[in-house]
Structure 1
Amino acid sequence: MTRPETRVAAPGSTVPYPVLDRVFFVVGGVSAVWLSSLLLQESFQWGWAQLWFLVVFWALLAYLVLPRLHRILTHVYVPDYFIGRARTSDGLLGDPVNVALLGSEPQLHAVMQAGGWTLADDVTLTSSRRIVVSTILRRSYLQAPVSPMFLFGRQQDFAYQQEIDGTPGKRHHVRFWRCPPGWLLPGGLAADWLAAGTYDRRVGLSLFTLQITHKIDGHTDGERDHIIGSIAQADTAAEVRIIRDFSAGYHTRNGGGDSIATDGDLPIVDLRRTAAPPTPSGPPSDSRDKRPAAIVVGAALAAARAAAAGLLALSLVIFPQEHIDALLLSGGAREPNGGLTSGQAGLIFTATVVAVVLFAGTELMLAWLVFLGRGRARTLTMVLSTVAIGLQAAAVLNGGPGITLRSNLPGLTIDILLVLALSSDRARTYALRAHKEPKRDSSRPGGRTPF
């Protein structure tokens, strides 16, 4: 009997990358390099505060410049199809995919919790602050978040962990991704979920980005076997099939620069006989529908730009005569037969106030629309920032005044950070998906939803 052909969708990004987004992506990367050089120059002008500038320079280099450069390069040389490795948010090859599973999401949650695993919190400002404090003070945080990794063009749907020694600095953890409908493993093997499990042994600096991150144990097969052992112990109905030499055994590094090694075997765990609550109605959840931090940051920066324009408008209204006098002086009113009249200066001043108020209102509206995930608002916001960055760069190249902290460096920083945030893959994907697909209706244990 001939087996029917199964059409397998590519597991990469499902949304095409517009040319304009590529431009913004590169502009963000180049601008970040420029900003880091400006901050480094400023650090030599402030004496005792030089250390703080160097810290800011490291943070900019580690969390913005190097990740964006890696993202640009990995778009070129990292294949966008399944090769048995997850990818970091910077596009680097991450942890090996070392477990496959069959079964529903409730069955998976049930067996993991029965096996002594704790569902990890999503990455938010609150959870990020809490894990930093818990790690430094060596306090327990059983639900500590894990960094996002990507498979099938989206970050993990959820993650589980087991804390060691009462601190999130050491822990077992495993990320889970739901496989796309109809997708098969190489060789035609079916799987509903793929997982990548590793053991965090300490906190350190990433070799590739200099970020503070967890350093993993290189023997990832040990963590794989620990996951399978805990599932088998929690549910005797679970069946495990080992696919020998599924991927070539390799010695290489993950996205944080840690050495990893595996024998290439892939266990497929069948949980379809596991007792679990009924599957919730509606389509399955998708991590791409969650509002990413990049959208929130981009909206906040646009709101900050609106606030700055609002303060300028307030200054114009409160101190009108000072601004009118400045216009008269700059226009040469004191020179005979030349310059602006008082009436002309008043008209220019009024037009300026109206323009600044309109700009502030427009920026505030754009900030709200960006937060809601509107694609056109996101694009227009990046256009405004790109134009502002370009004008300042052109002024410097044409011999204009330098950019310093006392002049226009704060405004330039806001524009560059805004382009970096909104041109990221996660911000782009959310903006393109937010109003084209229905909201997902799938709850998570403990009453948490993926939104």
Structure 2
Amino acid sequence: MSARSGSEPSHGSHRLKQPFVFRRHHFTVTGALDYVFFLFGGAASTWLALLILLRGFSLGWWQVATLLLFWCVLSYLALPRLHRILSQIYVPNYFIGRTRTSDGLLGDPVNLAWRGSESQIHHAMKAARWSLAEEITAASTWWTIVSTVSRRSYPEAPVSPLLLFGRRQDFAYQQEVDGDPSQRHHVRFWKCPKGWLLPGGHQADWLAAGTYDKSVGLSLFTLQFTHKIDENTDLERDYIVDSVTAAEPAVNIDHIEDFSTGYHSRNGGGDAIITDGDLPIVEVGKVVPDDSDYPERLDYVMDATVGIEHGHSVKALTKTLWSKRPLQTLLGAALVLVLLIFQALGVTSVLLDWNGIRTEFSLLTQFADLSSHDRELRIGAGILIGISLLIGCLQVAASASVIRGSNRARLWILALSTISIIVSMANYFTGDRELATNGYALTTIALQVTVLLSLSSDSSRLFTRFSTAAQRAERQDRALED
């Protein structure tokens, strides 16, 4: 086995015929639509929470269950989206030594810098007995819940995403404490942009944020269940440095004193933070990695504005991308099908009540005798059934296309959900207060809002846009081959 230092593997002989570049900061009509859907999702989720709260006032002892549902909608749907919208206004978008949560709030402090290649970092961390955290998928999320409830060990449990340089961490490492998934050391890593320097002109290849999870509790800002960190983040910073230097003699430490002012603050979960402002720089350039130090993952971050110029064919890119679909995308596509079934049951129940339809038609048309209009009424009902079936088939096709990575199908579903919610809002604010008491109508609105939030999230947006670009590049490659 040959040792390689300072260079990354090729990951296969098939290379892109042209660099595959995914750009996200150029203004486009698609981007404008996404922004509108994103903003409307915040308003719709807030309105849904208020409807549920009003519903509880008419349920007597069932108010307790309604309040629980109100908390779920408020903490997991409304508040995260509202925080994200507002934090775009008041949270700085340049480097201030802090990460940001996916909701846009200030997150954990950046307390480590690294010099060296990714493979050298992997080698040093593995030598110090740290475990590479898995990515957040439907499977890893499920096993995280199971391990937390049953207190079973899960050394590779995923960590929540934090953002730096406008993108999520490239990878993360962790160590469980006594096999308890609620307590762990963990550190996230971000690749620095090419040519970027730390304040003061210091060079670094990677930045990292290390904290210690001490328990599970409620977030102060979003009211969600989350890990609570130990407030003295300097202890975790020093623990990471000590564990790596003890395990790998080739690692050296450079120290920047007073890199930032020592401060007391809070992270995105509302946990207190205390730091002296020093920044250790971990030098791993002399570490000699081996083949096992190259994890089986793509050399790109979906959130990053980078060109994929090395290593993977477009076919490999799209295959790996589809196998790691974001949880929000799967949830949104699945809820479209649930919503379709739910609505089909409602339409069926109405159609089965033929006498009720005749009565409504009589009131609308003021015809006392419907015998001469029965044929027209049946034709009209048949047309409505046909339209419903057609829309249902289109929604099923769109849902499948979203799972496959179609950005156009995602936008189409978002447009339908937005129109449906706007119609419901218009009915409510023009006097139809039945929405706050009708369980069927409220459930339909809740499903529509959840679809809107899921498919307008950053993860879903970037996944479908990246997938669409990758598929287009794959077709171009096939055309060149032909």
TM-score range, shorter chain: 0.7 to 0.9
Q: Give yes or no for the alignment of 1:398 onto 2:398.
A: no
The aligned counterpart of 1:224 is 237
Judge conservation of contact 2:358–2:370 (CA < 8 Å) in 1. Answer: no
The aligned counterpart of 1:292 is 326
Q: Tell me which of the two structures has the higher relative contact order, counting C-alpha pairs closer than 8 angstroms and 6 or more residues apart.
A: 2
The aligned counterpart of 2:108 is 95
Shift of residue 225, structure 1, vs aligned partner: 0.8
Q: Give yes or no for the alignment of 1:427 onto 2:460.
A: yes
Q: Equivalents in 2 of 1:162, 1:28: separation in Å? A: 37
Q: Give yes or no for the alignment of 1:195 onto 2:208.
A: yes
In terms of mean alpha carbon deviation, does 403-412 or 167-176 score higher? Answer: 403-412
The aligned counterpart of 1:273 is 286
Q: Equivalents in 2 of 1:273, 1:304: separation in Å? A: 55
The aligned counterpart of 2:12 is none
Q: Give yes or no for the alignment of 1:26 onto 2:58.
A: no
Shift of residue 351, structure 1, vs aligned partner: 0.9
Shift of the 25–281 alpha-carbon distance from structure 1 to 2, 3 Å rule, reads: closer
Pairs aligned (count): 425
Q: Which runs of 4+ in 1 moved over 6 A?
A: 280-283, 337-340
Shift of the 119–394 alpha-carbon distance from structure 1 to 2, 3 Å rule, reads: same
Shift of the 193–438 alpha-carbon distance from structure 1 to 2, 3 Å rule, reads: farther
Give the TM-score normalised by structure 1.
Answer: 0.86
Aligned residue runs from structure 1 range 49-88, under 5 A: 49-88=62-101
Judge conservation of contact 1:252–1:259 (CA < 8 Å) in 2. Answer: yes
The aligned counterpart of 2:52 is 39
Give the TM-score normalised by structure 2.
Answer: 0.81
The aligned counterpart of 1:418 is 451
Unaligned runs of 5+ in 1: 1-11, 441-451
Q: Give yes or no for the alignment of 1:264 onto 2:277.
A: yes
Q: Output the amino acid matched with 1:285.
A: Y
Q: Equivalents in 2 of 1:306, 1:398: separation in Å? A: 26
Q: Give yes or no for the alignment of 1:140 onto 2:153.
A: yes
The aligned counterpart of 1:364 is 396
Aligned with 2:92: secondary structure? coil
Aligned with 2:329: secondary structure? helix
Shift of residue 102, structure 1, vs aligned partner: 2.1
Judge conservation of contact 2:302–2:462 (CA < 8 Å) in 1. Answer: no
The aligned counterpart of 2:441 is 408
In terms of mean alpha carbon deviation, does 19-28 or 41-50 score higher? Answer: 41-50
Judge conservation of contact 1:172–1:198 (CA < 8 Å) in 2. Answer: yes
Q: Equivalents in 1 of 2:325, 2:227: separation in Å? A: 25
Shift of residue 380, structure 1, vs aligned partner: 1.6
The aligned counterpart of 2:16 is none
Shift of the 287–334 alpha-carbon distance from structure 1 to 2, 3 Å rule, reads: closer
Q: Equivalents in 1 of 2:470, 2:259: separation in Å? A: 35
Deviations 1:381-422 (A, max 9, x none): 111111111111111122224113434111111111111112
Judge conservation of contact 1:14–1:153 (CA < 8 Å) in 2. Answer: no
Q: Output the amino acid matched with 2:380.
A: I
Shift of residue 107, structure 1, vs aligned partner: 1.9
Shift of the 400–281 alpha-carbon distance from structure 1 to 2, 3 Å rule, reads: closer
Judge conservation of contact 1:107–1:276 (CA < 8 Å) in 2. Answer: yes
Shift of the 39–340 alpha-carbon distance from structure 1 to 2, 3 Å rule, reads: farther
RMSD of aligned residue pairs (Cα, Å): 2.8
Judge conservation of contact 1:95–1:196 (CA < 8 Å) in 2. Answer: yes
Judge conservation of contact 1:92–1:255 (CA < 8 Å) in 2. Answer: yes
Judge conservation of contact 1:309–1:359 (CA < 8 Å) in 2. Answer: no
Q: Output the amino acid matched with 1:349.
A: A
Shift of residue 58, structure 1, vs aligned partner: 1.0
Shift of residue 337, structure 1, vs aligned partner: 6.9
Judge conservation of contact 1:309–1:357 (CA < 8 Å) in 2. Answer: no
Q: Give yes or no for the alignment of 1:251 onto 2:248.
A: no
Judge conservation of contact 1:13–1:152 (CA < 8 Å) in 2. Answer: no
Structure having the higher helix fraction is 2
Deviations 1:198-219 (A, max 9, x none): 0111222111111111111111
Shift of the 251–396 alpha-carbon distance from structure 1 to 2, 3 Å rule, reads: same
Q: Equivalents in 1 of 2:81, 2:174: separation in Å? A: 29
Q: Equivalents in 1 of 2:295, 2:134: separation in Å? A: 21
The aligned counterpart of 1:3 is none
Deviations 1:360-398 (A, max 9, x none): 011111111222332222222111111111111111122
The aligned counterpart of 2:7 is none
Q: Equivalents in 2 of 1:81, 1:118: separation in Å? A: 31
Q: Output the amino acid matched with 1:247.
A: S
Shift of residue 182, structure 1, vs aligned partner: 3.2
Unaligned runs of 5+ in 2: 1-22, 304-320, 474-482
Judge conservation of contact 1:306–1:359 (CA < 8 Å) in 2. Answer: no
Judge conservation of contact 1:198–1:223 (CA < 8 Å) in 2. Answer: yes
Aligned with 2:434: secondary structure? coil
Q: Structure 2 residue aligned with 1:387, among 383, 394, 419? A: 419
% identical equivalent positions = 44
Shift of residue 84, structure 1, vs aligned partner: 1.2
Aligned residue runs from structure 1 range 289-368, under 5 A: 290-311=324-345, 315=348, 322=352, 325-332=355-362, 335-336=367-368, 341-368=373-400
Q: Equivalents in 1 of 2:409, 2:169: separation in Å? A: 27
